Structure 1
């Protein structure tokens, strides 16, 4: 018998799917209550790398000196913070913009959701990298859209195949408006798009009259010299919508992100956002404002880059030692490595067994893919890993593989 509430639900409920990451995190949390778990599952900065004592001092100062810290701010953000974000984008991203082109959001996640509300209609198609960030895929599916993935290689989205997909969809009369990309330190792959591919992507957007949503969450966690620029900094036609976030440097809990785009888009974002949340968390806005004003972004970032680069190097060395022959990505930026298990191994079942038997947590990557090609892939995070346990965790993965007992559904 159906629950009585079914008859009250919106038809949109048919598009809503649970996040597999949340499910995995719940299993890991339950296991961690009784057992020491080596976790490669997170997607966050290490709290021991973040200057929490400094934040405590800033928070005290904010609450004492800023009366407005306990009241609403403007829905689009504290005006002084928007000025500092515009300066930040000019200095670090080469994007010349102004505060009127910026809306502060509840992390990058809200920015992505707002774009879905404003741009996407049921039946529209969004093109993403394959694989892509699972929560973007899930939230845009809420709006009844179809997500189509374009393959990646070591240089990012294969833009020649992107153009083939765009041509095919247009020839079929499909509604295509938007390309979503994480060009630097991509989640889940860790891959960084080459400059040639970035230029080609913008050419395709211009040629076929498309918008580009550029997710820059990992732009400042770069570990090797790479000749790349944000798409928005090369955008001469205002086709790129910049999704910014301080989460991966300052901490995910602060929940401060932003959107930057042409005034026509930002004006509509501002109107749409007001009734949603009234404003982003005001104390967090003032903490970030003071971090930027006091020129603290660079040293905080430099510490994070040094620490995560060291962890990345340990993990890659361990993979090459214990998982010889398995394909994996080699990120120059971001927080993640993708690892391809043998083709006859199911990543979900393997991840469950790994947690249950060997107390190692990873994320099965199938949900990040728009097709079945990621069935045997797992995502490994190195930013939150304990350095002295990284090799042991990888060794345990190899032990489970050697047992060859993982069932294939």
Structure 2
């Protein structure tokens, strides 16, 4: 940074870090210009599964019939869309809410940022899953908070450890605010929180006077009966702030998500959001409105679930065939599998060499962790993978591991 400009920067820039996902995407894009890359690195739905022709038809209708499609909407979203989202939450999530409790946002990401703006001060404590979604960790660090990672196992956040951490922080006189969780199809692990843990989490929030931020991005990519409910549907005290998103079903480019929260918080969220962006993209709001109004959501979701279930099964089968003995998650929802490399093999080094030598892209998972426990972990995405290349990509991973460790057995 040039000294000429450094003196003009705010102290907040000290909290700003580059997203490792963006760095990885840049490397993959550069490699893709010179070679065919098998990518397990993405974090979004397959464009070939999304009904783009339908969107084209809806867009033509919107621009032809809706003069307001090229104008601002209210900052908190089209009233009709908020009403449809309220109905959607009732039908698909079992959550009774009203349009007045909803703010339409630029995807779930903006809702996460708004929560940070409204609720977090420097020095506040936020509890997150360890690992957790890296961009939430990064954006909330902009507000000078301290993130405390709570271990995750096959049933999700280990809530017993959460309560221990809450008591310890209280004992130190710390200011505790939020628990952030992706309870279904967690990013990056793919793990889904059990009902017992969900109940315990709500009990902890009530007992220790905390709010829960439920990131529901993957709630509707569930591949087997899991016997679960959203935390928001189980919340009897108004302690859950619900962050919804249509990105993982309808496509990330539409940029339509929402925050559902008590009225007092929504009022502040509406006031904060207006100067930020004026409103979410109005054509996208109308497209999503018409998808919901015309009862098209179920068909779109069912196709996505069917396609991604096949890809998930292909990836797990390939891992068990070509990487026997390596620990990995078995997601019942979401888009991701975590894979632990043998020994303390560095995930960043592995990812770099895998891309350079074998033209396969994965995401090193260390940045998703709040400590050093994820150094030997990589994240694999199956939703964007080409079915006929999944096994080949995993086979190349096995080849590199053999080169790096001198053994064909992953132990």
Common fold, TM-score beyond 0.5? yes
Matches of 2:403 and 2:58, distance apart in 1:
52
Gaps of 5+ in 1: none
Q: For residues 280-304 of structure 1, what are the alpha-carbon distances to aligned partners after superposition, in whole Å with 9 as ceiling and x for unaligned? A: 0000000000000010000000000
Matches of 1:48 and 1:38, distance apart in 2:
16
Q: For residues 166-191 of structure 1, what are the alpha-carbon distances to aligned partners after superposition, in whole Å with 9 as ceiling and x for unaligned? A: 00000000011100000000000000
How do 1:221-300 residues align onto structure 2 when only pairs under 5 Å count? 221-300=221-300
Matches of 1:33 and 1:285, distance apart in 2:
34
Gaps of 5+ in 2: 407-411
Matches of 1:11 and 1:216, distance apart in 2:
32
Per the alignment, in what secondary structure is the counterpart of residue 307 of structure 2?
A: helix
Matches of 2:289 and 2:404, distance apart in 1:
53
TM-score (norm 1): 0.99
Per the alignment, in what secondary structure is the counterpart of residue 375 of structure 2?
A: coil
Per the alignment, in what secondary structure is the counterpart of residue 75 of structure 1?
A: coil
Contact 2:329-2:337 within 8 A present in 1 as well = yes
Q: For residues 255-288 of structure 1, what are the alpha-carbon distances to aligned partners after superposition, in whole Å with 9 as ceiling and x for unaligned? A: 0000001111111101111111000000000000
Matches of 2:205 and 2:243, distance apart in 1:
17
Aligned to 1:45: 45
Matches of 1:229 and 1:165, distance apart in 2:
25
Aligned to 1:144: 144
Per the alignment, in what secondary structure is the counterpart of residue 404 of structure 1?
A: helix
Per the alignment, in what secondary structure is the counterpart of residue 7 of structure 2?
A: helix
Aligned to 1:355: 355
How do 1:211-226 residues align onto structure 2 when only pairs under 5 Å count? 211-226=211-226
Per the alignment, in what secondary structure is the counterpart of residue 232 of structure 1?
A: helix
Per the alignment, in what secondary structure is the counterpart of residue 114 of structure 1?
A: helix
Matches of 2:4 and 2:28, distance apart in 1:
33
Q: For residues 8-58 of structure 1, what are the alpha-carbon distances to aligned partners after superposition, in whole Å with 9 as ceiling and x for unaligned? A: 000000000000000000000011111100000000000000000000000
Give the CA deviation at 1:81.
0.2
Matches of 2:125 and 2:344, distance apart in 1:
32
Q: For residues 378-403 of structure 1, what are the alpha-carbon distances to aligned partners after superposition, in whole Å with 9 as ceiling and x for unaligned? A: 00000000000000000000000001
Give the CA deviation at 1:3.
2.9
How do 1:280-359 residues align onto structure 2 when only pairs under 5 Å count? 280-359=280-359
Runs of 4+ displaced beyond 6 Å: none
Matches of 1:266 and 1:125, distance apart in 2:
22
Aligned to 2:4: 4
Matches of 2:269 and 2:353, distance apart in 1:
44
How do 1:367-378 residues align onto structure 2 when only pairs under 5 Å count? 367-378=367-378
Aligned to 2:111: 111
Per the alignment, in what secondary structure is the counterpart of residue 400 of structure 1?
A: helix
Aligned to 2:181: 181
Matches of 1:35 and 1:162, distance apart in 2:
45
Give the CA deviation at 1:405.
5.8
Aligned to 2:409: none
Per the alignment, in what secondary structure is the counterpart of residue 127 of structure 2?
A: strand
Per the alignment, in what secondary structure is the counterpart of residue 186 of structure 1?
A: coil
Matches of 2:394 and 2:292, distance apart in 1:
38
How do 1:60-209 residues align onto structure 2 when only pairs under 5 Å count? 60-209=60-209
Matches of 1:326 and 1:109, distance apart in 2:
33
CA RMSD of aligned residues (A): 0.9
Give the CA deviation at 1:343.
2.2
Matches of 1:4 and 1:364, distance apart in 2:
36
TM-score (norm 2): 0.98
Matches of 2:196 and 2:384, distance apart in 1:
32
Give the CA deviation at 1:2.
4.5
Per the alignment, in what secondary structure is the counterpart of residue 321 of structure 2?
A: helix
Give the CA deviation at 1:344.
2.5
Matches of 1:274 and 1:225, distance apart in 2:
40
Contact 2:151-2:158 within 8 A present in 1 as well = yes
Matches of 2:179 and 2:225, distance apart in 1:
27
Aligned to 1:404: 404
Matches of 1:5 and 1:146, distance apart in 2:
28
Contact 2:190-2:333 within 8 A present in 1 as well = yes
